[in-house]
Amino acid sequence: MYFKEINVRYFWFMFNSEFHQFSLHLFGGMSSAFFISTIAIYLHNKKMEFFWYGIFLLLVNIYFVFFNSYIKSFIPEGIKAHTLIIQNIAQVWINLCYLLFAMYNLNTNRDYPKFHQFLKVVAYVLIGFMVMYLILNTGGLSPASHRRLMDLQRLVMALFVVFNTYYLLRYGKSNFVYIILLAAFLFTSGAVATWLTLDLIWMVLG
């Protein structure tokens, strides 16, 4: 039932709206350019924040490529059959990569040692969630269970962003904190809006 519902509601997004498809092409082109430039910077200066931000952009592209009707036509059927699993794992990796990017960029290990330990726990929780999700899928996970698990992950990450915002606004030691928080807020808002409306344009905009 869930697959049927989500496929029907996404059908308009994927095939019947030139605006949405144009948005996907534009987003894919821009994020790919940023990915290449970010990895190039990393290869030059070896700073890990650029590496993790580059992987973040790559995974965002992987997530959205399955909604691009043109590019999706070139994806082998064997891979398309696992679209839901690939996208769900990509979502969690996206959160993990942005978390690692923020940790390196804000130098939390030096400037926020207690907060750094908390962020490490969150990173391990995300990794544990991915392992649990893959194990559950080997036994056959129902569509409803897919939805509940990912909804739980989105809710936890939304609360995590709220807490981070409070903590860094209160204890932040550099102006770059505001950029990190703004980006996290926009991305999380887009994810939550898509979760509530099932319209992916909000994630593209976020």
In three-state secondary structure terms, 141 is coil
**Mean pLDDT to the nearest integer, 64-92:** 75
**Mean pLDDT to the nearest integer, 5-26:** 55
What pLDDT score was predicted for residue 55? Answer: 94
Please, what is the average pLDDT of the chain?
Answer: 77
Over residues 127-138, the pLDDT tens digits come to 998 888 888 777
Task: Please count the other Cβ atoms lying within 10 Å of the Cβ belonging to residue 75.
Answer: 14
| CA–CA dist 191, 200 (Å, integer) | 8
Question: Residue 8's pLDDT band (boundaries 50, 70, 90)?
Answer: very low
| CA–CA dist 85, 100 (Å, integer) | 23
Of residues 205 and 112, more confidently modeled? 112
Over residues 146-200, the pLDDT tens digits come to 677 777 887 888 888 888 888 888 888 777 777 777 777 776 666 656 655 555 5
Task: Please count the other Cβ atoms lying within 10 Å of the Cβ belonging to residue 21.
Answer: 17
